Amino acid sequence: MHIHILGICGTFMGGIAQLARAAGHRVSGCDAAVYPPMSTQLEASGIDLIDGYGAEQIGLTPDCYVIGNAISRGNPLLEAILDRGLPYVSGPQWLAENVLQGRWVLAVAGTHGKTTTSAMLAWILESAGLNPGFLIGGVPLNFGASARLPASDSPFFVIEADEYDTAFCDKRSKFIHYRARTAVLNNLEFDHADIFADLAAIETQFHHFVRIIPSNGLIISNAAEASLERVLARGCWAAVERFNPPAGWRCDGSDTDGSLRLMAGREEIGGTIWKLNGEHNRANATAALLAARHVGVPFDQGLQALSRFDNVKRRLELRGTVRGISVYDDFAHHPTAIATTLAGLRHKVGAGAHAPRILAVLEPRSNTMKLGVMKAQLPASLADADRVFCYSANLGWNVAEALAPLGDRALVADDLDELVQRIVAAARSGDQILVMSNGGFGGIHGKLLAALAA
């Protein structure tokens, strides 16, 4: 089969492309700007890429067009497909019908932590010899790829289960298509303001997700989240295991010595030493261990795997150190994620009068942030930063006004080169520069390192 993918350079659609190619299909695709790193990954897999959405691409005559959710009506290629009555399908539906059908799907949902928890879970299953397939919205360092088909003898597939809508033709959340047997509900708060009116609307989609978990399945839910308790109260037909207080299952430990201990109430089930830190990652680990146990991986084996877990690219990833100044990259873009990431780095480098300074560099790039829905939460989310630098291009709200509570700790610029110059001018040896964006941010990491070196 020849499939042509619209919006192929996004993480999810690029993952589908790689799975389809590995399954033996001919794959081509297009995007508004064919860009690395996904473009280079796809080309290395033998996938033909086209820049733009020209209607002439119907001349490729594929068997099916797979439509990404970034594609909307008015797109010239989509309009040509519709006008001619050509076969098309959404990415999640193609995945469900061609890859997930008949498999034991382990789906990780939630506002935060989906990528890290999915990567942990896939690595635990891999370490146990279960050879799972996976599709993850990032690149787990233990695998070096965001997507993989399962081994021929493995029924297991781990997927990051996104609540964003499916496609222009299907406004259900993506995770509805996956028919999970093991479902992790990490957390739930308001996000995606471009498609959801409020938190209640997202809770309804999570309720739809819970409705299709089979009775022999398992839901692993964060007991600390009132929103998830409301979702489960609307109807649940599978067993539920809860983690985090007030439930019994939790992981504790210390960022100082890297300890990780799985607890059932006051009883320690097992422990290890690992490379991650922060309460959020210990919660992610608890969910991954419980999900892995559902497919037969004992806790001690799961903990051993976590001792060798290397996290995911763009999660407090150190991009380089120049003149004693370290530059980190992180995917954080929601205020909760920003606060969590800053807290994690603060734990890592220490606190107090003589601790290294943290210079937070922020690009409010997600659809929710572009709308300014959460601008009031930004100052509090940046409390752990000593200085804040924010890129304000292409925003319809006044960033400087929103960050005014931070006083002279905050600087706003709408020119990227000017922003780099101001950061470099402010930086001194020992500083930790933390760049946070869910996009490429104009290659600012390399520009900062080059400017610091110069």
Confirm if 18 and 91 have CB atoms less than 8 A apart.
no
- What does the pLDDT look like over 411-438, one tens digit per residue? 988 899 999 999 999 999 999 999 998 7
| Cα Dmax for the chain | 67
**Dist. CA 161–CA 177, nearest whole Å:** 10
Q: For residues 196 and 232, is the Cβ–Cβ distance under 8 A?
A: no
- CATH code at position 74: 3.40.50.720
**Shared domain check, 222 and 126:** yes
428 belongs to a structural domain = yes
Q: How many angstroms separate the CA atoms of 298 and 306, rounded?
A: 13
Query: Exposed/middle/buried for 45, CB within 10 Å: 0-12, 13-18, 19+?
Result: middle
248, 220: one domain: yes
Q: How confident is the model at residue 376 (pLDDT cuts 50, 70, 90)?
A: confident
439 has a pLDDT exceeding 90: no
Asked if 221 and 274 sit in the same domain, the reply is: yes
Whether 153 maps to a domain, the answer reads yes
Q: What is the mean pLDDT of residues 105-115?
A: 93
pLDDT of 343 reads 85
Overall average pLDDT of the 109-121 stretch? 93
Q: pLDDT by residue (tens digit) across 248-298?
A: 899 999 888 889 999 999 999 999 999 888 888 999 999 999 999 999 999
Across 198-216, average pLDDT: 95
More confident site: 350 or 359: 359
Q: Which of 59, 90, 121 is the last residue of a domain?
A: 90
Task: Return the pLDDT at 36.
Answer: 65
Residue 194 has pLDDT above 80, yes or no: no
Domain boundary among 61, 90, 119: 90
Check whether residue 224 and residue 178 sit in a common domain. yes
Q: What is the mean pLDDT of residues 114-129?
A: 96
- Respond yes or no on whether the N-terminal peptide bond of residue 76 is cis (omega within 30° of 0): no
User: Would you say 149 and 99 are in contact if contact means Cβ atoms under 8 Å apart?
Assistant: yes
Percent of the chain exceeding pLDDT 90 equals 67
> For the whole model, what pTM was predicted?
0.84
- Answer whether residue 6 shows pLDDT above 90: yes
pLDDT in tens, 311-337: 887 777 889 999 999 999 988 878 888
Among 6-15, 39-48, 107-116, the range scoring the smallest mean pLDDT is 39-48
Q: How confident is the model at residue 148, as a pLDDT?
A: 95
Q: Is the pLDDT of residue 15 over 90?
A: yes
CA 31 to chain centroid: 20
Q: Are 40 and 70 in contact (CB under 8 A)?
A: no
Same domain, 65 and 120: no
Say whether both 299 and 327 belong to one domain: no
For residues 72 and 84, what is the distance between their CA atoms, to the nearest angstrom? Answer: 17
- At 348, the pLDDT band (50, 70, 90 cuts) reads confident
Range of the domain at 7: 2-90
The full length of the chain comes to 454
Strand partners, 220: 184, 241
Q: Which of 273, 306, 339 is the last residue of a domain?
A: 306
- The CATH number of the domain holding residue 380 is 3.90.190.20
Co-location of 412 and 336 in the same domain: yes
Sequence-distant (≥ 6) Cβ neighbours of residue 137 within 8 angstroms: 11, 12, 114, 115, 118, 146, 160, 162
* 108 shares a domain with 63: no
Number of structural domains, the chain? 3
Chain-wide mean pLDDT for the chain? 91
- Which tens digits make up the pLDDT trace of 53-103? 999 999 999 999 999 999 999 999 999 999 999 999 999 999 999 999 999
